[in-house]
Amino acid sequence: MRPLQARIDLDALRDNYRLACERAPGASAMAVLKANAYGHGAVSCARALAPLAPAMALASLEEGRELRAAGIDCPLVLLEGFFEADEIDEAVDNGYWCVLHSHWQVEALLVALRARPGRRPPVLIKCDSGMHRLGFFPDEARSVCRRLMAHPDVGRCTLMTHFATADTADDAQLRHQMAVVEALRVDLDMPACFANSPATLSAPRSHAEWVRPGIMLYGANPLERDHPDHDRFASRLRPVMTLESRVIAVRELGVGEPVGYGARFVTERPTRVGVVACGYGDGYDRHAPDGTPVLVNGQRTGLIGRISMDMLTVDLSDIPGADVGARVTLWGRDENGGHLAVDEVARWCDTIPYTLLTGVLPRVPRRYYHHHDDEHGGDDSSRTP
């Protein structure tokens, strides 16, 4: 079998969730599992978090159906709400909490509830406090919240917003957004859900009744490098995915030899080139430049040459023991205890860790494990997402 795999450490996932709870001790934490749990496998991650998380957040009803079919029975939050009115009954009947961000959603929901009264679903009303993506402007949000809170067919209403700059060192925009929604929250006397991953870690004033840890659950640092709390949490967030493969061939090249498509890299010294079974057809970023770090048998080296669909090439010149079969860690923790942060690889590729993790394609098998018997009842290595 092809040696490429993504090893998923479920203990690390749970530890990262516990860190979110530690940082927001007065709040409940809904685990964000959208986009197939950021590429990690939604069903297996949901099962691992089910004993801990009182709710989970998703992008669509389709994502929720997969979890419900797998036996996940906690409330599921639809972060963009429903997309068509004919989704409402399924969502309400199956315990979804809908985020409402548009007037048409409010009207459609009330029509559906009048047709079948007595269900009283909880809803989250999204305020556009300054990101200008989804949500009601503050004055609209106030009137919508009051209308829904007074409606006999609507359950608990929660005020929601999303922060545009909680990950950055400059907190002016965050302070502006917080002032907007905190004034609404006090005026309306209602529970709230404001904090995403970076705010959960570093902005305690935003925690309210609910927080929404997302990327931090998977071990990526949500704070930019110049954020004053970046280093504080870098060592506490445990990587969940290790993307690893093996060297499948070794080439011995002299000086002045090109490597890979376009001859982008040309050797400047006698070079041992390792060919690794991983490429953009697996989701590895084709734009990764020469020098992007990898670990080979636990030792750092770099990519050389362009990424191919099924292969990439690395410099083995300074790792004399590396040969065919050598273990290659593209990001994550290797078996020798080495660690290559997905954040670092993302910086080399001029992107963010979200895109690397969610980009790992289905043909890459996920291997689930944890370090002791727990609610899963043993080794998860045979599980699939």
Catalytic choice (34, 96, 126, 218): 34
Phi, psi of 273 (to 5 degrees): -105, 125
Q: Was 133 annotated as part of a binding site? A: yes
> Quick check: helix, strand or coil at residue 324?
coil
Would you say 199 and 173 are in contact if contact means Cβ atoms under 8 Å apart? no
Would you say 314 and 304 are in contact if contact means Cβ atoms under 8 Å apart? yes
Concerning whether 354 is annotated as a catalytic residue, the answer is no
Catalytic choice (17, 218, 261, 354): 261
End-to-end CA distance of the chain: 19
Phi, psi of 5 (to 5 degrees): -155, 160
Q: How many CA atoms lie within 13 A of 74 on its CB side?
A: 20
DSSP state of 218: G
Integer Cα distance of 380 and 378 in angstroms: 6
- Pair of tokens at residue 17: 């969730």
Would you say 123 and 147 are in contact if contact means Cβ atoms under 8 Å apart? no
Please give the single-letter amino acid code of residue 157: C
Helix %, strand %, coil % for the chain, to 5? 30, 25, 45
Concerning whether 126 is annotated as a catalytic residue, the answer is no
The binding site for substrate comprises: 133, 309
| Active site members | 34, 261
